[in-house]
Chains A and B, each alone.
Chain A
Amino acid sequence: MVYLVGILLVVLLGVAIAIAAKLQKVMKGVQPDNQDDMPVPNNKVNGALWIVFLVLGTIGVAASYWSAKDYFLPEASSPHGRETDSQFWFDMSLLTIAFFAVNFLLFFFSWRYQYKKGYKATFYPENHKLELIWTAVPAVIMAVLVFLGFRTWTQIMADAPADSQVIEIMGKQFGWIVRYGGVQDNKLGNYNYKLISSDNEMGIDYSDEASMDDFINPSEMHVEVGKPVLLKIRARDVLHSVYIPHMRVKMDAVPGMPTKFWFIPDKSTAQMRAELNNPNFDYEIACTEVCGRGHFAMKLRLIVEDKAAVDAWKQQQKPQLSLILESNPKFISKIPEKLRAKAMDYAPYVEEAADSTTAASGSAAATSASLR
């Protein structure tokens, strides 16, 4: 539909112009070119074209909107997103009125006051009252919009609630990695970019006890529905930007300057699948700050589900320390002595059985087994 209207618009314009050109030739044949009568050719045709443009433009804008709106994002899956959306459409409706009103006056006056022989324009250089009115009215409208925006913005940017699920997300060329605080202490440990290696992609600092049980995932983020999520955002190499379109979330990831954004995902993936009647629906996280060749493909799945499902998923995730020790047992030497015993809790069972010098091996084996 929208294309039809668009193509129609072009065709009609083309026809109108062809007529204009033809008309000019005909006029030229009829009467000699008189500079005083008609300063430029086709004045009437161009005057009429403003009205043509006005009518076709109005139809085009309306029709294209009706056909495009089905493809807009579904209702936001977060309370702040629904708030900004409704404000967006409120602003947009005001602006649409202004858009049509101003363009109407502009095009209508152009047509209405086109050159007429013998007519003299009105000498009307100023009117302070009018100027005052159209300074004051936009100013008042702007004040209202600023107030609404300010209120929403302050709420969104306020500190996250204390019971938030804290998840770290790191951008890199070209993908995201998320880190959870782990199932034992549920607390994110320190990190240091100098510790980053192919084993330790996020540079987790194992001299911090809280890091031991942290697990990472490069493809999925699971969050509990209805509970605030606090994203701690950072970047490893260049700027990235965390963008969750359905949640109306966006925040840059900056190397050297951690950022954050919190929101409440209050519609589970399953609920959205049912609502949209699309069994394949998935929340997605994308990058919106140009970061190089693979910028357009930095995708992470976001799964919003109930507490039980999230907990089950978390249980399945191996702490990164376990994975490192599995592939590289010598890594233990990099951990400060006083934490080594605790770290060995995360070492794979086989390794541990061989190493009979470790004191707490019995309990460690139990923990490690329960993790699998």
Chain B
Amino acid sequence: MSVVEANLDHDIHAHDEHEHHEELNFWRKYIFSEDHKVIAKQYMITGIFWAIIGAAMSIIFRLQLGFPGANLSWLKPILGKWITDTGALDPNFYLALVTMHGTIMVFFVLTAGLSGTFSNFLIPLQVGARDMASGFLNMISFWLFFISGLLMFVSIFLETGPAAGGWVIYPPLSALPKAHMGSEMGMTLWLASMAIFIMSSLLGSLNYITTVINLRTRGMTFTRLPLTIWAFLITAVLGVISFPVLLSAALLLIFDRHFGTSFYLSEIYIDGEALPNVGGSPILFQHLFWFLGHPEVYIVLLPALGITSEIIATNSRKPIFGYRAMIASIMAIAFLAFIVWAHHMFVTGMNPFLGSIFMFLTLIIAVPSAVKAFNYITTLWRGNIVFTPAMLFSIGLVSLFVSGGLTGIILGNSALDIQLHDTYFVVAHFHIVMGAASAFGFFAGIYHWYPKMFGRMLNNTQGQIHFWLTFAGVYLVFMPMHYVGIAGFPRRYYQFTGFDFTKSFTDLNMFISIAAIFTFFAQFVFLWNFFYSMFKGKVAPPNPWKSNTLEWTTPVNVGHGNWPGEIPAVYRWPYDYSKPGSEVDFIPQNIPHSQTPESNFPHENEYIAQEKEIEAQNYNDQFAAH
């Protein structure tokens, strides 16, 4: 191994950087920064920006669904020609909104925003590293994400509108510009944007994996890693394996669109013309897409579950129940995530026998998921719970994870999926379990680590108000959607007036829309708190939540390199809360067992002998000069 070489390299860099440390100009410090903490904030701000756009889009189409025929002329200043002269929303643009809402929320907010923010911010801080393995790649990763977002943003303003075939962009619709306005330039930009996004995601994930494996501090064994890091690590592995498959799907689609190939096209007659393409299969695209698409659900959700594990343990003042079971269930979920993709395709005409196999594999996922839910609940049991906003959002996440996950057991059943596929039942299911739950993870993370990010506290009361409004709002929006789905209403319908079986539930749809608008505006409580506290918030203490993990051993305003002196060594797991015999209710990871004889379990006294060994270890301090 080239550890020595790498160290030499680092020495030189470290030396360089040390000399120029104070001289970093504004651009290098805040814009093209290689510091993981700044990059995390860049991801976070960009993610919040996209979240506002994505949510606002959903409000516009909810207006259409809840108040069909309402005069929307007042939106003309924003939407221009997409509002007709009679004040109706253009059906093409309705589909564009639905598509963009999905794309933005799944990829830009919950993948980049959530994983990008917290993997970047927490991995070096919690494993005890100066920075990511490669700060440069990390910077490139963010700016690729930024460019991909820019392309998507531009596509919204095209004459023909952005991509509009649903976020799953199934060909042939997405492959044939003649078939659909949204399949023209908008689709080209979507594919370009997504290709760049995938590169960004891959660079990010490789960096996360490398950092977790190589840059853990002395004593930070894998069984002493906080569950956040476990979740980020597995998420990154999922991304590295599955995103390239989406890239290949997108590339083949680009070929079909521009170079006359027939990967997904066969026997098509459109616009008065029979196309020459034969032999392709639209189903192939769906297989490739969902091979990413399903792990993507967990790419979005696992970081949120990791964050939740950490926050629930801290604020229950109890160790997380079943630490190893939690790791095992993350791994089981991640493994199963790769072999269930075709449950999105039960009624595509796929071989029914495959359907049975995928139903079996899908329902197995319920087992590790149930283990996680029960472990969270047992962690709360006989705790001493402090309702910080982060804690509230974490408990809320568990509730949503369970409520939304349960309906997955129905949808994963191929026989029952026949009726429910592509109805609002599906919409309700994945918005609760993946959308809202992950968004709650995002909020929980921000509330919990804001003091570390900005050195100031968020207003707790406002955070609590934000939680209760959002929690109630999410249930009010998505619970009734199950009923709409059971009544058979198909998704992605511009309006429900065309069919007799969708004539009912006009009131309920209105109710959902009102609840959605309410929930949307509740988020401004957060936005206000977030930006106000950045400048005017109370100055944070070093460890406001009395937490055990390493990031709280850094100074309030964390500098470049994270720890001013040596990186602390780690002697214990991160969940020694309320340990019997101990006077304080938390023992941080960097406290050796030799200092806590009163609370050591018998087997832990044996660890005392290892402390010298840990301290003497050579570790990967990127800044250390030997």
Quick one: which of A135-190 are within 8 Å of B by CB? 135, 138-139, 142, 145-146, 149-150, 152-154, 156-157, 173
Binds A, one of B249-257, B313-321, B434-442: B313-321
Separation in Å of the A275 CB from the closest CB of chain B?
Answer: 15
Q: In chain A, what residue has the closest Cβ to B395?
A: A110
Indicate with 1 or 0, residue by residue over B362-397, a CB within 8 angstroms of chain A CB atoms: 011011001101111110111111111000100100
Assess whether A10 is in contact with B492, with CB atoms less than 8 Å apart: no
**For window 460-483 of chain B, which residues contact chain A by CB distance below 8 Å?**
460-461, 464-465, 468-469, 471-472, 475-476, 479-480, 483
Given A40-B386, A110-B395, A113-B385, residue A250 in contact with residue B421 (CB < 8 A): yes
- Tell me the minimal C-beta distance from B33 to chain A in angstroms: 32
A194-B406 in contact (CB<8A) = no
Contact call B500/A284, Cβ cutoff below 8 A: yes
Q: When chains A and B are docked, how far (Å) is the Cα of A292 from the Cα of B165? A: 7
By the criterion CB–CB under 8 Å, are A122 and B495 in contact? no
Interface residues in B416-431 by Cβ distance below 8 A to A read 416, 418-423
Interface residues on B, range: 35 or more
Interface size class of A (residues with CB under 8 A): 35 or more
B363 CB, nearest partner CB in chain A, Å: 5
In the assembled complex, which residues on chain B have CB atoms less than 8 Å from the CB atom of A106? 376-377, 380, 395, 398-399, 402
**Chain A residue contacts of B268, Cβ below 8 A:** 193, 236-238, 255-256
Q: Is the CB of B382 within 8 A of A68?
A: no
Q: Does A342 contact B (CB under 8 A)?
A: no
A9 within 8 A of B: yes
The reply to whether A73 and B282 form a contact with Cβ atoms under 8 Å apart is no
The verdict on B135 contacting chain A, using a C-beta distance below 8 Å, is: no
Q: How far is the CB of A292 from chain B (nearest CB, A)?
A: 5
Complex Cα distance, B91 from A192, in Å, reads 32
> Does A282 sit at the interface, judged by CB under 8 A?
yes
Closest B residue by C-beta to A156: B415
**Set B270, B371, B419: member contacting A81, Cβ < 8 A:** B419
CA–CA, A17 to B522, complex, Å?
13
Residue ranges of A at the interface with B (Cβ–Cβ < 8 Å): 2-3, 6, 9-10, 13, 16-17, 20-21, 24, 35, 39-43, 46-47, 49-50, 53, 57, 60-61, 64-65, 68-69, 71-73, 81, 83-85, 87-88, 91-92, 95, 98-99, 102-103, 105-107, 109-110, 113-116, 119-127, 130-131, 134-135, 138-139, 142, 145-146, 149-150, 152-154, 156-157, 173, 193-194, 196, 198, 203, 233, 236-239, 241, 243, 245-246, 248-252, 254-257, 259-260, 280-282, 284, 286-297, 299
Q: Give 20 CB contacts A-B under 8 Å.
A: A20-B461, A64-B483, A84-B418, A103-B399, A103-B403, A109-B377, A115-B386, A115-B387, A122-B381, A134-B371, A142-B409, A237-B172, A255-B266, A256-B268, A256-B281, A257-B266, A284-B499, A288-B490, A290-B165, A293-B95
Binding site for A on B (CB under 8 A): 91-92, 95, 165-166, 170, 172-173, 176, 179-181, 265-270, 272, 274, 278-283, 316-325, 347-349, 352, 355-356, 359-360, 363-364, 366-367, 370-371, 373-378, 380-388, 392, 395, 398-399, 402-403, 406-407, 409-410, 413-416, 418-423, 460-461, 464-465, 468-469, 471-472, 475-476, 479-480, 483, 486-488, 490-496, 498-501, 504-505, 507-508, 511, 515, 518, 541, 545-546, 575, 577-580, 585
